[in-house]
Amino acid sequence: MVSKHIGSNIDYVVMDEEEKGKVKDKKLFWKRGFGFIDFIELI
């Protein structure tokens, strides 16, 4: 897993090829207090 910090409480997470099959969308966001959320939920 590759994680890149992009803000005070949100990390952008890109799943690697092995992990990608385990989740519906390979691009997820980690938000403190909420856990992993879909990018669509941030909009």
Q: What is the share, in percent, of the chain residues with pLDDT greater than 70?
A: 0
Give the pLDDT score at 16: 61
% the chain with pLDDT above 90: 0
- How much is the pTM? 0.21
**pLDDT band, residue 27 (cuts 50/70/90):** low
Q: Specify the number of domains making up the chain.
A: 1
Residue 40 backbone phi and psi in degrees, to 5 = -60, -35
What domain range is 34 assigned to?
2-42
Check: CB of residue 31 under 8 Å from CB of residue 3: no
pLDDT mean over 12-34: 59
pLDDT-derived band at 35 (thresholds 50, 70, 90) equals low
Sheet of 2-5: strand order equals 2-5, 10-14, 27-31, 35-38
